[in-house]
């Protein structure tokens, strides 16, 4: 039995769909979850989909992924730009790590151009709205050799 892909979303993404649709799209996080689940099932995989506003909780979930996941998709949101602790946790993983962003941070304010998470990422998908998550699932499925 293949382990699930763990999909983590960081702070404020629980409010997705309620503001700035021109940047982040109209989908809610529940819509994103449904799209990820459908993509994973189509590749014979499953997802564990979680969101937290708390850095330590995200770090606990990254650590859990060390033994419980076949790959990790993470939209670290604002913590990507600030959290060395999250980077340190990600660096302990021996599975593919796909960094995912709804927007394209490189095309926005200067402070979004750098993410610590990128230093531990196998690859990055950004700028495609909710589809970024789906593309990240596809990338993870390819990396773990799913059908
Ligand atoms: O584009 C992304 O996915 C980001 O990770 C979103 C973060 C931002 O700090 C990153 O630079 C890029 C912000 C998440 C804000 O969450 C939202 C809350 C309500 C409506 C839309 C987004």
In the prediction, which pLDDT does 146 show? 84
Protein residue with least CA distance to atom 14, ligand 1: 77
Number of structural domains, the chain? 1
Nearest residue (by CA) to ligand 1, atom 13, is: 77
Q: Which ligand 1 atom is nearest residue 18's CA?
A: 20
Residues annotated as catalytic (active site), given as ranges = 24, 101
User: pLDDT 10s digit of each residue in the chain, 147 long?
Assistant: 899 999 999 999 999 999 999 999 999 999 999 999 999 999 999 999 999 999 999 999 999 999 999 999 999 999 999 999 999 999 999 999 999 999 999 999 999 999 999 999 999 999 999 999 999 999 999 999 987
CATH number at residue 23: 3.40.50.9100
**Ligand 1 binding site (Cβ under 6 Å of any ligand atom):** 12-13, 15-16, 18-20, 24, 75, 77-78, 101-103, 105, 112
The gap from C-alpha 11 to its chain's centroid, in whole angstroms, comes to: 12
- pLDDT value of residue 28: 97
Nearest CA to 66 out of 96, 40, 95, 97 is that of: 95
Q: Give the range of the structural domain holding residue 41, as residue numbers without chain letter.
A: 5-143
């Amino acid at each position: 039995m293949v382990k699930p892909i763990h999909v983590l979303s960081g702070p404020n993404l629980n409010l997705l769909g309620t503001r700035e649709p021109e940047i982040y799209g109209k989908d809610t996080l529940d819509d994103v979850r449904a799209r990820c689940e459908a993509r994973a099932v189509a590749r014979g995989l499953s997802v564990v989909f979680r969101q937290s506003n708390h850095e330590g909780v995200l770090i606990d979930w990254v650590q859990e992924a060390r033994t419980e996941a076949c790959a990790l998709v993470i939209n670290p949101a604002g913590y990507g730009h600030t959290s060395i602790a999250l980077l340190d946790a990600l660096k302990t993983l021996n599975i593919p790590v796909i960094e995912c962003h709804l927007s394209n941070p490189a095309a926005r304010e200067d402070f979004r151009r750098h993410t610590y998470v990128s230093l531990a990422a196998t690859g990055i998908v950004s700028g495609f709205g909710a589809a970024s998550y789906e593309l990240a699932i596809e990338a993870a499925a390819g990396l773990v050799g799913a059908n």
